[in-house]
Structure 1
Amino acid sequence: MTDLSFLSIDKASRRVSLDGRNPAFYSDPNRVYAALHAECPTFYWVEQKQWFVTGYDTVNALLRDRRFGRQILHIATREELGMPEPADHTRHFDAAEAHSLLELEPPEHTRLRTLVNRAFVSRHVEKMKPEIEELANRLIDAFEKDGKTELLSSFADIIPVTMIARMIGIPEDMGPQLLKWSHDYVGMYMFKRTRADEDAANRSAKEFAEYVRGMIAERRANPQDDLLSHMIHTEHKGQYLTEDELISTTIVLLNAGHEATVHQIGNSVRVILESGLSPAEMFRDEKATERTVEETLRICAPVHIFQRYCLEPAEIDGVSFKRGDKVSMILAAANLDPEKFTEPLTFRPERDEAPNLSFGAGIHFCIGAPLARLELNIVLPLLFQRLPGMRITAPLRVKDVYHFHGLEQLDLAW
């Protein structure tokens, strides 16, 4: 019997009490999601003071519902909504987020996304296949003879940040610094973040923005065949991106372009090894590999929550929302909806059911999804082919950064 004593569900009022920082929850959130599906798929999370939805169809519809958006201040003032003024100690972070693709609504979102999208469509990304293979093989060459490695630092951390830096046009030797800035930055998305987390994110946002500003000046003077030059020198309906828009867009692409994929490489290796199933069978051909990758994305998604503001009065699953209210969708829970997936808590690499929602849907569907999928479809089979007999050698700890989901480290031997 699963112990869920840390979870309290009042089905009648749809109120749920759950400490998001409790290791019993964030180490294995799927069993909590299963309980929510059984009892209360749409619920008010008392500690977060907000409504959450977990049902697949509800989440999928809400992601596409134009009555809800990522921002609200384009149609209402802080005063009207009773929102506090932004804090001074996070002003650099707020400035970096001000023009983020993740935070904007049309028409600004459409303009920014149109300028960036071309670089991320599948046919462009597909050309990076040989580079990803070469990098992955080179990294494995460095530790294969040791018979063991800590996979996140020796492999998973390096591939996504290197590939997104190459795409944008940032020197690869900036990789470790980009990782540090990014880790500080995502600290802002933790439940119950501390003042120290906010100070670190603000400091890193300031340094990150200053670095990108310098790169922009360099590319204005000497354009290259890279995404940053493309964003600087391409117009959309007679408009160019402003410097602030360029900075926000570059930062969000670097963060989103690797943070989730790092987690997903680790999560996928873990779930494959723990399943006891044959990796050779999972990766026997391209089709089987694709299905296996999609199943790992379904059962151990790297990003769990996406939030929306209500832009006009609306009702979702019997709950009334007024303008300015917030609602969150738990993408990782939608992937476990028993209405859509048979035996949803079981890893079944041959599964062919509903598409997972790990990359979202609608206008904010993850722009980097083709790149992330390509990286996973290349590096996972390669790891298991090159290192047969891989096994986990140390107890696993999940990072306390819910609603991101990833391991602290992954010690392997073969």
Structure 2
Amino acid sequence: MNLQNDPALSPASFRLEGGLMSLDPRDPAFYENPYPAYRRLIEDGGIARWDAIGGHAVARYDLVAAILKDRRFGRIVPGNPEGRPDFSQKPVHLRAFYALESNSLLELEPPTHTRLRGLLTKAFVSRRIERLAPQISAIADGLIDAFPHDEPVDLIAAYASPLPVRVIAELIGVPASASDLLLDWSHRMVAMYTPGRSVEAEHAANGAAEDFADFLREIVEEKRKRPADDLISALIAAETEGGRLDRQELISLVVLLLNAGHEATVHQIGNGVKAILQSGADPAGLFTDEARAQATIEETLRFDPPLHLFERYALEALDLPGGVTLARGDKVALLLAAANRDPAAYADPDTFRPERYLEKSTKIPTSFGGGIHFCIGAPLARLELKIALERVFARCPQLQMTASSQYRDSWHFHGLEKLEVTAGARRDLT
């Protein structure tokens, strides 16, 4: 077993006994390396009550994969027949934030979820994603060209962060000049999902939601007058088809795509570079052909994914293994990254080994979720990750870490605060 993931190295705040787990998600020892605690939970049966999140934590691959697809569970317990959440009791100082959330695909169930996802899928066609490949490569090359030649560079700030936001802005139809604003709004809104968030963080998130929505309303009006070949224009066309998409729904969909379309990809690029560099593998050998490149991408998604938690709620009374009985409305916390390291699903799970995905029998990672809430942006995320990793390792063959990296205090959104590297001489691939 990889000593870094030895269950004996679980954080001091971790306790597991009698089906009850005690663990502070803001314990630095946990968010820096959650895998020893995950292994302990799996070895104890893979499910335990975790009061810090107000439900049962589920870590076993088979259970996580099954619950993601089980329609007895939902992202919310719908407050009405339309499958919408009831946010009427939310604090007044979060009104703008929950106005967006109330129309977010992540907070909806059928039939509204079915309608909106169908419209988004129609606009989010594969050809629109595929033709972004040359632009993603160009953006990556421009960022790599700007790396300093003789001093360390923070790969998160200089590469992993700006690349996805520029890509998603181009896809959706938002000016690239607004990238810094989009990043700021996204970071403030995502902080709402951090356990133990402060009131100050709530006010910041609400202000970001308000500014973000105002900004997009202006963009939508411009696109309505002058449509282009972008996602906003495609959604506006859907909006006019018999009133099947109203203005607030359109704004919420675009906010979700802009936030989810870059936040997780930033972390996955950073986590992927770190995993490859620390694995001892020759990066040049990981991208020699399409099959190996795709296998490498799947292994980075399995080994250290950016999303560690998806919440689901029981929509009816039911039983889970281990004598766990759930009532309607009870929450389960699906630990995606724990499932990806389950020894029952993956041989030698704590070793970064891309060749496992050259075998057709290897289970797909749970990193993009499953069922009706499977990540609609997964094809774009895989494409960005593949190009970002290929380009940086091909053009910087001497890339190496120069300092120990640190993860952010946002356990379930697992990503590096900073990844300091030296790039060495840049290779020209033109």
Does 2:64 align with 1:64? no
Partner of 1:345: 350
SS where residue 130 of structure 1 aligns? helix
Report the counterpart of residue 274 of structure 1 in structure 2: 278
Other structure's SS at 1:143 match: coil
Work out whether 1:134 is the aligned partner of 2:143.
no
Moved more, 97-106 or 122-131: 122-131
1:104 maps to 2:108:
yes
DSSP 3-state at the match of 1:315: strand
Match of 2:3? none
| Distance in 2 (alpha carbons) for counterparts of 1:75 and 1:319 | 28
The total of aligned residue pairs comes to: 407
Asked if 2 retains the 8 angstrom alpha-carbon contact of 1:111 and 1:236, the reply is no
Which one of 296, 301, 304 corresponds to residue 297 of structure 1? Answer: 301
CA contact (8 A) 2:239 2:247 kept: no
CA distance in 2, matches of 1:253, 1:27: 27
Cα distance in 2 for partners of 1:389, 1:36 equals 39
Tell me if 1:369 matches 2:375. no
1:146 CA displacement: 4.3
TM-score, scaled to structure 1: 0.94
Q: 1:217 aligns with which of 202, 217, 221?
A: 221
Unmatched runs of 5 consecutive residues or more in structure 2:
1-5, 425-430
Counterpart of 2:155 (choices 147, 151, 155) is 151
- Supply the distance in 1 between the matched residues of 2:125 and 2:34 (Cα, whole angstroms): 32
Of 185, 189, 194, which residue of structure 1 is paired with 2:189? Answer: 185
CA distance in 1, matches of 2:135, 2:28: 38
Residue 248 in 1 paired to residue 257 in 2?
A: no
Deviation readout 1:210-255 (Å, 9 max, x if unpaired): 1111111222222222110111122597333111101110100000
Q: Determine the structure 2 residue equivalent to 1:200.
A: 204
Q: Does 1:391 pair with 2:397?
A: no
Q: Contact between 2:239 and 2:246, CA under 8 Å: does it hold in 1?
A: no
Give yes or no for contact 2:74–2:109 (8 Å, CA) kept in 1.
yes
Q: Counterpart in 2 of 1:258?
A: 262
Question: Partners of 1:389 and 1:147 in 2: how far apart?
Answer: 13
The CA deviation at 1:120 is: 3.4
Does structure 2 conserve the Cα–Cα contact (< 8 Å) formed by 1:119 and 1:227?
yes
The answer to whether the 8 A contact 1:160-1:261 is kept is yes
User: Which residue in the other structure is 1:6 paired with?
Assistant: 13
Bigger CA drift: 203-212 or 144-153? 144-153
Give a deviation string over 1:126-182, Cα, whole Å, max 9, x none. 111111111111111122634532111111111111111111110001001100000
- Contact 2:9-2:36 within 8 A present in 1 as well: no
Change (3 A) 1:220 1:412: same
CA distance in 2, matches of 1:129, 1:378: 8
Distance in 2 between residues matched to 1:234 and 1:295, nearest whole Å: 37
Shift in CA distance, 291/333, structure 1 to aligned 2, threshold 3 Å: same
Rounded Cα–Cα distance in structure 2 between residues aligned with 1:118 and 1:147: 46
Where structure 1 has 5 or more consecutive residues not aligned to the other structure, the ranges are none
Contact persistence 2:277–2:400 (CA under 8 A)? yes
Q: Could you say what secondary structure the match of 1:309 adopts?
A: strand
What is residue 421 of structure 2 aligned with on the other side?
412
CA distance in 2, matches of 1:236, 1:363: 25
Q: Deviations over 1:175-213 (max 9, x none)?
A: 011000000000000011111111111111111111111
1:47 Cα deviation after fit:
2.4
Distance 1:21 1:199 in 2: 21
Counterpart contact for 1:43–1:52, Cα < 8 Å: yes
Corresponding letter in the other structure for 1:161 = V
**1:24 alignment counterpart:** 29
Report the 3-state secondary structure (helix = DSSP H, G, I; strand = E; otherwise coil) of the residue aligned with 2:415.
coil
Q: CA deviation at 1:119?
A: 4.0
Q: Distance in 2 between matches of 1:6 and 1:222?
A: 56
- Determine the C-alpha separation between the residues in 1 that align with 2:124 and 2:228: 17
Which of 230, 233, 236 does residue 232 from structure 1 map onto?
Answer: 236
